[in-house]
Amino acid sequence: MSTLTETAYPVSRPGWFARSEAWLDSKGKGAWIAVMVLGFIFFWPVGLAILAYMIWSKRMFNSCSRRKSHRAVFSAMSTTGNSAFDAYKADTLDRLEREQREFESFLERLREAKDKAEFDQFMDERARKAGDDTLETGDGTAKA
Q: Are residues 21 and 89 in the same domain?
A: no
In which band, very low, low, confident or very high, does the pLDDT at 1 lie, cut at 50, 70 and 90? very low
In which band, very low, low, confident or very high, does the pLDDT at 30 lie, cut at 50, 70 and 90? confident
Provide the CA 72 distance to its chain's centre, in angstroms: 17
pLDDT given for residue 61 in this prediction? 66
> Which whole number is the average pLDDT over 18-29?
82
Residue 81 DSSP label: S
- Transcribe 99-114 into DSSP letters: HHHHHHHHHHHHHHHH
Which pLDDT tens digit goes with each residue over 98-130?
Answer: 999 999 999 999 999 999 999 999 999 999 998
Q: Which residue among 26, 56, 78 closes a domain?
A: 78
Instruction: Please tell me the distance from the alpha carbon of residue 68 to that of residue 18, in angstroms, as a whole number.
Output: 15
- Transcribe 16-60 into DSSP letters: HHHHHHHHHHHH-HHHHHHHHHHHHHH-HHHHHHHHHHHHHTTTT
| Structural domain of 128 | 81-144
Q: Are residues 85 and 74 in the same domain?
A: no
**Total domain count, the chain:** 2
Instruction: Tell the burial category of 79 from Cβ atoms under 10 Å away from its Cβ (0-12, 13-18, 19+).
Output: middle
Report the amino acid identity of residue 21: E
Sign of CA dihedral 119, 120, 121, 123: positive
pLDDT given for residue 47 in this prediction? 85
Q: Are residues 68 and 90 in the same domain?
A: no
- pLDDT above 60: residue 43: yes
If one compares 98 and 68, the residue with the highest pLDDT of the two is 98
Please state the pTM of the whole predicted model: 0.38
- pLDDT above 90: residue 15: no
